[in-house]
Amino acid sequence: MRTLSGIVALAVGAIFGTQVAAAEKIVRVWHTETEPQTIKAFNDIARRFEAKHPGVKIEAEGLAWGDLEGKIMASLAAGSPPELSHGQPITCTALQSKGLLLPLDDVVKSIGDANIWEQVRRVCNVGGKQYGLVHAAGTSLLIYRRDLAEKHGLKPPKTWADLVQAAKALTLDSNGDGRTDIYGISLPGDNLFINILLGELIKANGGQLFDNNNRPMLTDRKMIETLEFWRELARYAPPGWEGHGYLQTFQNLYGQKAAMMLAGYGRGAGMIEKFAPKDMANDKTFDVWVKPHGPSGSEPAAQVDEEPWMLFKEAKNTNEAVEFLKFFYQDDNYLEYIRTVPIHFFPITKSLRQSPAYRQTEMIQRWKGWLDAQEQYLEKDQGKPTLVVDWADMTDKPYLMEVLGSGILRDMVIDATVEKMEPQKAAEKAQKRLEDLMRSKGYLKR
């Protein structure tokens, strides 16, 4: 039986505990990193931040790329967005245009404006304010089987025609049973990655997706050439490629079912080391070529995977979220995060990128050529975010997120490749659909 003093003590404890719980400020964080080592590093950084900031709790959740935008929109509709979330650059500018984000200028000031890559500062920078701050950057890569290319005497492709010929040469019956067992190239079939690839291909062919009046340019000759190239290339892709997502395209590569991968990324080096036969898990077997350009283009183009952090205006604990980001980007913490996927995560800070601690990372030494290729795209400004052809698109075309979500561009590519529709007809069909979408959203006035 409890005594009166015991009951009082329990009551006081309950009241005190309720007060502590009520005083705790929760910062909800959604990010797109689902690999176990990255989740662990991020959570470890969060726990260190909490130790330095009593009363603040970081609740982090890793979400798949394909799930994030839908969850963000649902949370905004419900009036309960997280404090921080990753998002596509085009998502960031779309939300900023609707007045839903707060600037992260205090975080930039803490890092040092001059300490951030110039390319990174251009992402979701509106009116001189930084509404999105990239967590890390990495470009798309053309990955190929170096051993097979050397065996067949192939040189780096300069043009799309060269790449088609390489894909044909590397479509092989390696065991002599009369059936193809290695296909020339692995292609993505899901909506996100078809949009990513289409954006970089039209850039590499000197084209645009929209004119200055927001009218789609899908029937332009440069887009038709792009669809014709995709159709030719798909002849040498594994059957059913249109159903392959990002992971399946990599499985085709390291599983020796495909000799090249057009929409590869640096994180694939970790997959190769984990899943490929040990004697093949190196850059002597899996190397990268600079991407070729189209018949109407003159230089390569790549997509930059650089999801920015976004700070939501309607969230409760935005000040604490800003303090957490300042802590996250401190060199020691940030290096721990970057090292979890070092061939895909380029640090956004010059200080970390130039530091011996970063450059001496063992995996970076093993796959240096993959990083050099990405650095070349970034230094020559050949890398742009998804569906961004020119940097002005970031602010002038806030509808790109809606275009991505519509699936119209994927349907056009599938019509021209899998459904065997003539590229011109596929483009005309998509042009009408996209014009209707743009008109319904108020972006196309005539």
Average pLDDT over residues 299-304: 97
DSSP string, 95-110: HHHTT-EE--HHHHHH
Average pLDDT over residues 86-94: 92
Integer angstrom CA distances of residue 15 from 2, 18, 24, 57, 204 = 18, 5, 14, 20, 64
Q: Is the pLDDT of residue 231 over 60?
A: yes
- Residue 446's pLDDT is what? 64
Provide the CB-side half-sphere exposure for 131 (13 A, CA).
25
Least confident of 11-20, 30-39, 229-238: 11-20
- Residue 338's pLDDT is what? 96
Q: Is the pLDDT of residue 416 over 70?
A: yes
- Residue 333's pLDDT is what? 97
Q: Name the pLDDT band for 66 (thresholds 50, 70, 90).
A: confident
- Residue 64's pLDDT is what? 79
For the chain, list the domains and their CATH numbers: 22-137+306-366 (3.40.190.10), 139-303+383-440 (3.40.190.10)
pTM above 0.75, yes or no: yes
Q: Name the pLDDT band for 67 (thresholds 50, 70, 90).
A: confident
* Mean per-residue pLDDT over the chain, rounded: 93
CA distance linking residue 215 with residue 432, whole number of Å:
10
Residue type, 441: K
CA distance linking residue 318 with residue 27, whole number of Å:
8
CA distance linking residue 187 with residue 280, whole number of Å:
21
Q: Give 307-363 pLDDT, tens digit per residue.
A: 999 999 999 999 999 999 999 999 999 999 999 999 999 999 999 999 999 999 999
Q: Is the pLDDT of residue 10 over 90?
A: no
Q: Give 106-152 pLDDT, tens digit per residue.
A: 999 999 999 998 889 999 999 999 999 999 999 999 999 999 999 99
